[in-house]
Homo-oligomer: A and B are copies of this chain.
Amino acid sequence: MSLLVVGSVALDTIKTPFGSVNNALGGSAVYFSLASSIFTKTRVVGVVGSDFPKRHLTRLASKGIDIEGLKVVDGKTFRWSGKYEFSLNEAHTLSTELNVFKDFRPDIPKGYRDSRYVFLANIDPDLQLDVLKQVRSPRLVACDTMNYWIASKKPSLKKLLKKVDVFILNDAESRQLSGEPNLFKAARSICSMGPKTVIIKKGEHGSLMRYGKSIFISPAYPLEAIYDPTGAGDSFAGGFMGYLSQSGRCDKQTLRKAVICGTMVASFGVEKFGTERFDGLSSKEIRGRMRAFDSCVKF
């Protein structure tokens, strides 16, 4: 089924103890759609500047990603620069240049308004709400956010949460939003704000999902070599939404499998720098890793 993502498209400069890249293709909508497009046709809404290398557009299109909604405007593309310490646990932002992303007002192309699955990547919650006004009758809406919006735009975020089905956020954000250090309490509290399903991402420790009154806990895939965790949360969301959209279902069992699928896709993504690992990544390879994962958690 049709899947729409609205988010950032960026040029990332990343340093880890294992190497670095300059002005590499990045951004939430990019990581998301590279992941989701393995499973389903994905429509992207975002903005880049006139400096955005054409080869990146070609690369996205070559994967069957619909980039009609990716506007190219005068000015410079959003740039993010960050580094990771040896433990790779936390990104330290070195600089953020919003550039053309500063005035981003998502304009959903007519041909996208019938999208059945919608992912609102991390942008201003007022803009996320604005997107929802433009899509006709989505079957499932998921969103992400960040600490900045929780601190500065909580009322808008809370308004948004009443309109989404799945809220995907990380552990620190869930604690910040709920005021609860215990993640299961945090998930319960956030569910009471609106979304029937809350997924809390815990990085190397996996994730937990609360839907209705049920809890699903998944460890991360056991990786000995992680090169670059940038975008892991967005590729998790892409794998999750791609799986749901491909299956055309949203029942509890499918949601669980979608979490595992997102976990596997994210585990591939961090094996190389930036978005490099998505080149040539097939659903067959992902299914193979799912089986390997299964043998690591069965008892």
Interface residues of A (CB under 8 A from B): 86-88, 181-185, 188, 202, 204-206, 208, 214-219, 222-226, 253, 256-257, 259-260, 296-299
Q: Which of B182, B206, B260 sits near A219, CB closer than 8 Å?
A: B206
Q: By the criterion CB–CB under 8 Å, are B222 and A215 in contact?
A: yes
Minimum CB distance partner of A182 in chain B: B224
Looking at the assembled complex, report how far the CB atom of A179 sits from the nearest CB atom of chain B, in whole angstroms. 11
Q: Which of B87, B184, B202, B224 sits near A223, CB closer than 8 Å?
A: B184
With A and B bound together, what is the CA distance between A188 and B259 in angstroms?
28
Looking at the assembled complex, report how far the CB atom of A54 sits from the nearest CB atom of chain B, in whole angstroms. 38
With A and B bound together, what is the CA distance between A217 and B202 in angstroms?
15
Minimum CB distance partner of A253 in chain B: B299
Residues on B with beta carbons closer than 8 Å to the beta carbon of A297:
216-218, 297
Residues on B with beta carbons closer than 8 Å to the beta carbon of A88:
181
Q: Which of B208, B257, B259, B299 sits near A260, CB closer than 8 Å?
A: B299
Looking at chain A's contact residues, is the secondary structure mostly helix, strand, loop, or mixed?
mixed
Residues on B with beta carbons closer than 8 Å to the beta carbon of A214:
296
Looking at the assembled complex, report how far the CB atom of A219 sits from the nearest CB atom of chain B, in whole angstroms. 4
With A and B bound together, what is the CA distance between A219 and B297 in angstroms?
9
Q: Which of B184, B219, B226 sits near A218, CB closer than 8 Å?
A: B219
On whether A224 and B259 interact (CB within 8 A), knowing A206-B219, A216-B297, the answer reads no
On whether A219 and B219 interact (CB within 8 A), knowing A181-B86, A297-B297, A299-B256, the answer reads yes
Residues on B with beta carbons closer than 8 Å to the beta carbon of A86:
181
Minimum CB distance partner of A183 in chain B: B204
With A and B bound together, what is the CA distance between A225 and B185 in angstroms?
8
With A and B bound together, what is the CA distance between A259 and B299 in angstroms?
9
On whether A205 and B208 interact (CB within 8 A), knowing A215-B222, A299-B218, the answer reads no
With A and B bound together, what is the CA distance between A79 and B215 in angstroms?
39
With A185-B224, A216-B296, A253-B299 already in contact, 15 other A-B pairs whose C-beta atoms are closer than 8 Å: A182-B224, A182-B225, A183-B204, A184-B222, A184-B223, A188-B224, A205-B205, A205-B206, A208-B222, A214-B296, A217-B222, A217-B296, A218-B219, A256-B299, A257-B299
With A and B bound together, what is the CA distance between A296 and B206 in angstroms?
14
20 A-B residue pairs with Cβ-Cβ distance under 8 Å, sorted by A, are A87-B181, A182-B223, A182-B224, A182-B225, A184-B222, A185-B224, A188-B224, A205-B206, A206-B219, A208-B219, A208-B222, A216-B297, A216-B299, A217-B219, A217-B222, A217-B296, A217-B297, A218-B219, A219-B219, A257-B299
